Amino acid sequence: MKLETLNFFDKVYEVAKLVPYGRVTSYGAIAKYLGAARSARMVGYAMNGSGGKDVPAHRVVNRKGLLTGKHHFEGTNLMQQLLENEGIEVIDNQIQNLKLVYWDPSVEL
DNA sequence: CTCTTGACTGAGG
DNA sequence: GCCTCAGCCAAGA
């Protein structure tokens, strides 16, 4: 594929796919890793197109570990279910022990 | 080109 | 720690 095909959105998908099982990261962390630290919002915006792709969007939350994007999933608790299925404790859209499951691409990679 | 939108974030009170 | 405000920037109309 051409480099030009790797748009901001596509890069977001690539990084999202790199998130390990049972871990989560933030929009800002991904943005920073892509060199667009100020474009955290675009990361989330990009995830709109993650549907139909192999992107584990449920592993991407905001910096507080809050499932702000759960409304973009089918059910009302699908995102939380997926996370809990990976061993991540989630209570009321809030990830517990965030530090333990947090994964920062700009650090881990 | 301009204006709006948004799954965010950091700073200030 | 919580709430509010403003800046950020790419995409779509």
The pLDDT of residue A2: 39
Residues with CB under 7 A from strand B: A 26-29, 40-45, 47-48, 50-51, 57-58, 60, 62-64, 68-69, 71-73, 79
pLDDT averaged over every residue in chain A? 90
- pTM value? 0.90
Give, in order, the Cα–Cα distances in Å from A2 to each of A5, A12, A34. Answer: 5, 16, 17
Helix (H) or strand (E) holding A98: helix A98-101
- Show the domains of chain A with their CATH numbers: 3-101 (1.10.10.10)
Q: How far does the CA of A32 sit from the C1' of B10, in Å?
A: 14
The residue-averaged pLDDT of A71-76 equals 88
Burial of A33 (0-12, 13-18, 19+ CB in 10 A): buried
Q: Is the pLDDT of residue A5 over 80?
A: no
- Report how far residue A19's alpha carbon sits from residue A21's, in angstroms, rounded to the nearest whole number: 7
The answer to whether some atom of strand C lies closer than 7 Å to the beta carbon of A96 is no
